[in-house]
Amino acid sequence: MLRVAVVGSGPSGVYTAQSLVQQDRLPGVRVDVLDRLPCPYGLVRYGVAPDHEKIKSLQNNLRTVLEHDRVRFIGGIEIGPDGPPPARLLELYHAVVYCVGAAADRHLGVPGEDLPGSYSATEFVSWYSAHPDAKADGFVRGVESAVVIGVGNVAVDVARMLARGVDELRPTDMPQEALGALAESQVREVHMVGRRGPSQARFTTKELRELGSLPDTEVVVDPAELALDPAYADTAGLPAAVRRNIEVLRGWAERPVLGLPRRIRLRFFLRPVAVAEAAGRVGGVRFERTLPD
C-alpha cells in the first residue's frame, strides 16, 4: 500500500491529499497531512481576513478532505531543523510532497524599519487571526495614524482592519485580544502607499471597492497623483481588471471630501526611504517620489 506524506495543511496541501485519494491509479493510497501548527488550513485559517467569512468558509471543504478515511491530519510536527528531517520522512513514506507556503517576510531595507511600531503584514495579520506565533503587541494602542506600505490585497486587508469599526468585527472569529485593542483604537488616518501607479497596483476591484463601503470611513484619492500615471487618462489599452480599478479610484478622486471620522488615503508613486523615530518608536515615514515606468 502506497503511503504519502504531505507537508503543510494549507489549501495546496489539502487539495494535494484530495487529488491523491481520488486517483484511480493509486487504489488504497494513504495520505498523512503534516503541519507544524496544531490546527490545519494554513493561511485560510490564519491569513484570510476574519470579515471575509465566505472565503474563510473554504475551511469546511478542506475539513471534508481531512476527514476522508484514508487521510490523516497530524498537527504540531515541523519538518526541518526543529523537528524530523526530510530524510526521516523518506524512510517512513513512499513519497513526500511539500506544500509549505511562503512564510518569510520581505524587508524594505530602509533605516528605522525595525523600530517599535513598525510591523510586517505577517505580524499584524497573525495577531488579528490568532496565529499561534502571534505577538500580543496591541499594535493599534496609542496610535492615531498608520501607514500601510503596499497596494495589493493584503495591504487592503490591513487597511480595512484598521478602519473597520469593531462592531462589524465582533461577530467574526477575531480573537478577543485584537477586538479589545481595535475597540479602543484611535486610528483615524490610514495611508496606503504604492511605489508605482494605480494601473500597476495589485489589488483586485472587489477588495478595493470594499474600502469605500466601510462605515464612518471615506477613501481619499488625489486626482493629481492618479494623473501621474500615463494610463490614467486613457484606459482603453488596459486589461479589464485594471480598468475597473482605475474607475473605482477615479470615482473616489472626483468626490468631495466629506470629513467622516476615519480616512483611508490611497497614495501612489511614493517609495519609502526611511522610517523616522519619535520618542523611541515610529514617528513617521519618509518617502521619495518615483516616476512612471
Ligand X SMILES: Cc1cc2nc3c(=O)[nH]c(=O)nc-3n(C[C@H](O)[C@H](O)[C@H](O)COP(=O)(O)OP(=O)(O)OC[C@H]3O[C@@H](n4cnc5c(N)ncnc54)[C@H](O)[C@@H]3O)c2cc1C
CA of residue 218 relative to chain centroid, distance: 21
CB of 234 to ligand X, least distance (A): 31
CB of 222 to ligand X, least distance (A): 27
User: With contact defined as beta carbons under 8 Å apart, do 9 and 40 qualify?
Assistant: yes
Q: Cell 462605515 belongs to which residue?
A: 215
3-class secondary-structure state, position 29: coil
Query: Which residue's CB is nearer to ligand X, number 179 or number 274?
Result: 179
Q: Is 222 in the site for ligand X (CB under 6 A)?
A: no
CB of 177 to ligand X, least distance (A): 18
Q: Is 79 in the site for ligand X (CB under 6 A)?
A: yes
Q: How many Cα atoms within 13 Å fall on the side-chain side of residue 42?
A: 19
Binding ligand X (rule: CB under 6 A), the pick from 5, 21, 108, 125 is 125
Query: What is the four-CA torsion angle of 274, 280, 281, 285, rounded to 10 degrees?
Result: -20
CB of 56 to ligand X, least distance (A): 8
Scanning 63-71, 93-101, 171-179, 241-249 for contacts with ligand X by CB under 6 A, the matching segment is 93-101
Q: How many residues does the structure list for the chain?
A: 293
CB of 124 to ligand X, least distance (A): 9
Scanning 1-9, 178-186, 226-234, 242-250 for contacts with ligand X by CB under 6 A, the matching segment is 1-9
User: With contact defined as beta carbons under 8 Å apart, do 30 and 70 qualify?
Assistant: yes
CA distance 10 to 204: 22
Residues 146-205 that bind ligand X (CB under 6 A): 154, 157
CB of 253 to ligand X, least distance (A): 26
Residues 6+ positions from 182 with CB-CB distance below 8 Å? 128, 140, 161, 166, 169, 174
User: With contact defined as beta carbons under 8 Å apart, do 124 and 158 qualify?
Assistant: yes
Q: Is 100 in the site for ligand X (CB under 6 A)?
A: yes
Residues 28-47 that bind ligand X (CB under 6 A): 34-37, 42-44, 47
CA distance 287 to 285: 6
CB of 89 to ligand X, least distance (A): 10
3-class secondary-structure state, position 47: coil
Scanning 48-56, 108-116, 186-194, 221-229 for contacts with ligand X by CB under 6 A, the matching segment is 48-56
CB of 43 to ligand X, least distance (A): 3
Query: Which residue's CB is nearer to ligand X, number 118 or number 235?
Result: 118
Query: What is the four-CA torsion angle of 42, 160, 243, 258, rounded to 10 degrees?
Result: 180
Total site size for ligand X, rule CB under 6 A: 28
CA distance 288 to 274: 10
Q: Is 9 in the site for ligand X (CB under 6 A)?
A: yes
CA distance 66 to 60: 10
Q: Is 11 in the site for ligand X (CB under 6 A)?
A: yes
Give the binding site for ligand X (CB under 6 A): 7-13, 34-37, 42-44, 47-48, 52, 55, 78-80, 99-101, 103, 125, 154, 157
